[in-house]
């Protein structure tokens, strides 16, 4: 998503959020990697779950950002769901490592990315006004 930043760097759209940008970038990597998983994991399996969780972070941020005009608490609720997805994907990454779908280094690198995303989301949740 393109940035919609207004004057003085104000956040105008969800694409302006650094956490959204990072989560989107990593979700594309997860998508590409998961396409190499065994066929039986592609639909309703591990690959599908990983794609859903990684994209769910961005989708929840976008939906919540759009609903913040209703209330700031509503956006924070969607941020909480995004945090849950960031934690969920770390479980799926561990499964991928243990099942041999991802090398340990890949799994750990991606897990570190999602840990950073979760921390960014927690900061956003705490500080969004």
Supply the CATH number for residue 22's domain. Answer: 1.20.1440.60
67 domain-assigned: yes
Asked if the structure places residue 6 within a domain, the reply is no
The answer as to whether 4 is a domain residue is: no
Q: Is residue 35 a part of any domain in this protein?
A: yes
Domain count, the chain: 1
Could you give the CA distance from residue 90 to residue 77 in angstroms, rounded to a whole number? 21
Is residue 3 in some structural domain? Answer: no
Fill in the DSSP letter of residue 129: -
pTM for the full model? 0.89
* Rounded Cα–Cα distance for residues 98 and 102 (Å): 8
Q: What is the pLDDT of residue 5?
A: 47
Confidence of residue 125 (pLDDT cuts 50, 70, 90): very high
Instruction: Judge whether 5 lies within some domain.
Output: no
Range of the domain at 104: 16-127
d(CA 45, CA 108): 21
8 in a structural domain: no
Q: Is residue 100 part of a domain?
A: yes
Q: Kindly state the tokens that stand for 21.
A: 């940008």
Inform me whether the pLDDT recorded for 1 exceeds 80: no
Write out pLDDT tens, residues 2-60: 455 445 567 889 999 999 999 999 999 999 999 999 999 999 899 999 999 999 999 99
pLDDT tens for each residue of 36-49: 999 999 998 999 99
**DSSP secondary structure of 54-122:** HHHHHHHHHHHHHHTTT-HHHHHHHHHHHHHHHHHHHHHHHHHHHHTSS-HHHHHHHHHHHHHHHHHHH
């Amino acid at each position: 998503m393109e940035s919609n930043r207004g004057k003085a760097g104000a956040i105008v759209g969800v694409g302006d959020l650094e956490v959204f940008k990072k989560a989107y970038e990593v979700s594309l990597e997860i998508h590409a990697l998961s396409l190499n998983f065994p066929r039986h994991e592609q639909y309703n399996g591990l690959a599908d779950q990983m794609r859903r969780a990684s994209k769910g972070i961005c989708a929840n941020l976008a939906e919540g950002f759009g609903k913040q005009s209703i209330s700031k608490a509503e956006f924070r609720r969607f941020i909480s769901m995004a945090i849950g997805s960031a934690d969920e994907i770390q479980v799926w990454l561990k499964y991928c490592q243990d099942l041999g779908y991802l090398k340990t280094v890949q799994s750990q690198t991606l897990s570190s990315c999602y840990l950073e995303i979760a921390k960014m989301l927690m900061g956003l949740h705490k500080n969004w006004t």
